[in-house]
Each structure stands twice: as structure tokens, then as C-alpha cells.
Amino acid sequence: NTVGDEPRVILVTGASSGIGEATARRLAGDGHHVVLAARRTDRLDVIVEEIRKAGHSAEARALDVVNRAAFQALVDDVVATRGRLDVLVGNAGVMLLSRLDALLVEEWDRMVDVNVRGLYNGIAAVLPHFRAQGAGHVVTMASIGAHEVVPTSAVYSATKYAAWALTEGLRTESDPTIRVTTISPGVTESELADHITDAHAADAMVDYRKAAIPADAVARAVSFAISQPSDVDVNEIIVRPAAQR
Ligand code: NDP
């Protein structure tokens, strides 16, 4: 078995803020080479510069996870330039909460596009390389919303149940060389709720966010999952604020 803390090449989607940013910083600090992907490359450039100044290894790449061809091209290019890709952290996501009867159907489409299509686009892009390498690990950022549905979370939760199902499906279909982890965070400090347009849902988030834990609390869970020896597969971790009910 390979030693769990060997340096890897890791792609983190949605690395420009919140949990993805914290995960990229922590995994680079662990000694891995981290490819930070998102649409806001100005943010990525600043983060990568800080990671490099701290003596660690990282690069920034523009990516809209909804664009399947772009996702494939990015993954192929990472493999061509770094020789391999060991871990995909499928973290990019949006949470546009609202009640179904508010009928914000375009926001439903957006959540499905980013949280579901964006995740399986990544799985499709990395799987051929994982098989060729004889190793690979997909870490999916799901949510407490993958375990429960509350008013305003129906579509968001549907996308996170889907994320859980995709990751579990990959596990059941794969040989032991491919490992999978679903991380389900509770309320965590990030920009996620800033994009909610529905006033009722946005108001409800104000109190909810008071209990938020730092994004690095989730990043530590990712670090733990990927640092196991190759015969150990950590399949699911729930990390929530102790104060969250
Ligand atoms: P943020 O809004 O801070 O981060 C979301 C990230 O996703 C950003 O880096 C954003 O980058 C990226 N993103 C959004 N759309 C796209 C896209 N089309 N293509 C590429 N990247 C995209 O929120 P969080 O850090 O909280 O969210 C990260 C993940 O954690 C999400 O999947 C979320 O559902 C999940 N989560 C968060 C919880 C929380 O309480 N914060 C709780 C449970 C789960 P850019 O805009 O630059 O493209």
C-alpha cells in the first residue's frame, strides 16, 4: 500500500472562496500540488500567490464546471503537464434557496447545472485517467442537505442527494483502485448564502449563519480522507457546528 501522505496532484473546483479555497490552502500546506479551478481567476491568482509565498505548490486555472468540454480539456492538460491527477475535489456549488411555490425555476436549473452536471462532468473527465493510472480519488462536497430536506431547500437538497448518489454509485461500480469520499458540511463560513435572491430564504439564513464554523474545519476532513493508505476508503464525513440542530 502506498503511504497516505505522499504528495499528490489534486484538482479543487470552486477554489476561489469558502470551503474550496480553505481546502486548496490546507492540501497545499500538506505538501500536495493543488490545481485551483473556478471562474473568478483574479481571486485564484491571489490565493495561489499566497500559497507559493508560503513555500507550497499550486496553480490557478479558469473553469466553469458546467462546460463539459472545458472540464475535460483542463483535466487532460493537468495530466499532460504534471504527469498525473490523483484527486478530484468536486466542491463547486451554488445554493439558491427558496420555496418551490416561489417558482424561481431558473435558479433550480442553475443549481442542477452546477451542483449535479458540474460534478458528473468532473467524474467523466477524471475517470479515464484514474483507470489508466490504476488509482484515483473523488471527493464530493455534498451537504447536510444531502441528508435532510427543510422548507426552501427542496431543489438544493435534491442536487445534494444527487451528489451523494453519484459518489456512492462510483464507489459501487469501481474496482478498489478508485476511492470516493462524500463530505457533508453543516453551516460553514463562505459566500454561499450571499447569492440567495429570495428575501424569505435570505432572512432565514441570517440567524442560521451565526453558528457557522470556519471553512478550514471542512478542509481538515478532506485532508483526513485523502491521507489514508490505499486500502482504506473513507466514504462519508459529516462536519457540522456543534451548535447546529
Ligand atoms: P462559496 O460560494 O464561498 O464557494 C462556491 C465556489 O463554487 C466558488 O469558488 C465559486 O467560484 C464556485 N463556483 C460556483 N459556480 C461555479 C461554476 N459554474 N464553475 C466553477 N466554479 C463555480 O460557497 P462554499 O464554499 O460554501 O461552497 C462550496 C461547496 O460546499 C458547495 O458545493 C456547497 O453546496 C457546499 N456546502 C457549503 C455549506 C456552507 O454552509 N457553506 C454547507 C454544505 C455544503 P466562482 O464563482 O469563482 O466560479
Please tell me if the CB atom of residue 182 comes closer than 6 angstroms to any atom of ligand 1: no
pLDDT above 90 (res 139) = yes
Q: Indicate whether this complex's ipTM tops 0.90.
A: yes
pTM here?
0.98
Distance 93 CA to ligand 1 centre (A): 4
What is 9-238's CATH superfamily? Answer: NAD(P)-binding Rossmann-like Domain (3.40.50.720)
Please tell me if the CB atom of residue 113 comes closer than 6 angstroms to any atom of ligand 1: no
Q: What is the pLDDT of residue 2?
A: 52
When pLDDT is cut at 50, 70 and 90, the band that residue 1 belongs to is very low
Nearest CA to ligand 1 atom 34: 93
Strand partners, 197: none
Q: What is the mean pLDDT of the chain?
A: 96
Distance 190 CA to ligand 1 centre (A): 8
In the chain, what are the domain boundaries?
9-238
Q: What is the pLDDT of residue 208?
A: 86
Grid cell digits, residue 44: 485564484
Please tell me if the CB atom of residue 92 comes closer than 6 angstroms to any atom of ligand 1: yes
Distance 213 CA to ligand 1 centre (A): 16
CB burial string 105-116: b at 16+ within 10 A, e below: eebbebbbbbbb
- Determine phi and psi for 62, rounding to 5 degrees: -70, 130
Rounded to whole angstroms, how far apart are CA atoms 80 and 103? 44
CB burial string 215-242: b at 16+ within 10 A, e below: bbbbbbbbbebbbbeeeeebebbebbee
Please tell me if the CB atom of residue 66 comes closer than 6 angstroms to any atom of ligand 1: yes
Distance 227 CA to ligand 1 centre (A): 23
Please tell me if the CB atom of residue 87 comes closer than 6 angstroms to any atom of ligand 1: no
